């Protein structure tokens, strides 16, 4: 894959959050509310997916070539959270609200979160940009890396979002590795998809995303960066709407 696809191209300025009238207050409300909202999704196994409890994440060293590490952003100088290779809805350069998610296709909380954020982004195409970055936690989710690679291969054929949805809708079947079957069902060029899965290109995008997430302090999924501010866990649609309403036009 061309190295330029790893270049960060859109800065998500933290300074913009200072212009929110009630943005900080919403976060305090949200922290308490998320525990009540997420409670039905907890089990002894799923608790390890909770960003508040998770203490381990997978290593990207075996996937990310040293030649690409020089392109990693620097959180200390406000480097971008978005790269060319990242699938997105909306235009991050023009949106009032830019949401970057670090997600895992085997994470039950990501599955719980995705319908609301997808509907929210679709409902506000001119105001909201939603960007997806991979953060597969393969220490607890054995199919997460392969699922992420498959989704990235679907992105090469402009089918990331349908494939993204198919993975979450069939999360319980990922152990059967149904990736080619999903590609066929969604009308992808199966030969090109299979070749992509066998190459290093998509794997490097996944590894790069994970490395960026670790630099920004991501330890569990889902983790969102909302105009540069970190927000962890399942976020209900009503809260997304409240955050958008609180944004003051620069």
Enumerate the domain spans of the chain.
3-246
Residue 84 is predicted with a pLDDT of 73
Cis peptide before 222 (omega within 30 of 0): yes
Lowest mean per-residue pLDDT among 78-82, 90-94, 116-120: 78-82
Beta strands 229-232; 223-226: pairing state: antiparallel
Q: Between residues 227 and 2, which one has the greater pLDDT?
A: 227
pLDDT band of residue 71 (cuts 50, 70, 90) is low
The average pLDDT across 28-49 equals: 38
The tens digit of pLDDT for each residue in 93-147 reads: 899 999 999 999 999 999 999 999 999 999 999 999 999 999 999 889 999 999 9
Question: Strand 8-10 relative to strand 88-89: parallel, antiparallel, unpaired?
Answer: unpaired
What is this structure's pTM? 0.75
pLDDT value of residue 197: 97
CATH placement of domain 3-246? 3.40.30.10
Q: Strand, helix or coil at 132?
A: strand
- Position 168 confidence tier, pLDDT thresholds 50, 70, 90: very high
Confidence of residue 240 (pLDDT cuts 50, 70, 90): very high
How many CB atoms are located within 10 Å of the residue 105 CB? 27
What was the pLDDT predicted at 29? 40
């Amino acid at each position: 894959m061309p190295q330029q696809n790893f270049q960060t191209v859109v800065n998500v300025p933290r300074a913009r959050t200072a212009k929110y009238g009630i943005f900080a207050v919403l976060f305090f409300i949200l922290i308490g509310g998320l525990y009540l909202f997420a409670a039905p999704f907890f089990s002894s196994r799923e608790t390890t997916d909770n960003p508040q409890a998770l203490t381990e994440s997978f290593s990207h060293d075996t996937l990310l070539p040293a030649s690409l590490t020089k392109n990693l952003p620097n959180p200390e100088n406000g480097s971008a959270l978005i790269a060319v290779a990242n699938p997105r809805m909306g235009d991050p350069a023009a949106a009032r609200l830019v949401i970057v998610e670090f997600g895992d296709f085997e994470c039950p909380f990501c599955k719980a979160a995705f319908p609301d954020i997808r509907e929210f982004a679709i409902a506000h195409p001119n105001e909201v940009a939603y960007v997806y970055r991979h953060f597969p936690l393969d220490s607890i989710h054995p199919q997460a890396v392969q699922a992420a690679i498959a989704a990235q291969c679907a992105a090469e054929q402009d089918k990331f979002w349908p494939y993204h949805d198919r993975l979450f809708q069939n999360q319980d079947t990922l152990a059967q590795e149904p990736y080619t079957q999903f590609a066929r069902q969604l009308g992808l060029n199966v030969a090109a998809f299979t070749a992509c899965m066998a190459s290093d290109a998509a794997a490097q995008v996944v590894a790069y995303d994970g490395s960026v997430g670790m630099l920004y302090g991501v330890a569990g999924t889902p983790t969102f960066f909302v105009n540069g501010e970190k927000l962890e866990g399942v976020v209900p649609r009503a809260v997304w709407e409240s955050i958008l309403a609180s944004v003051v036009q620069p």
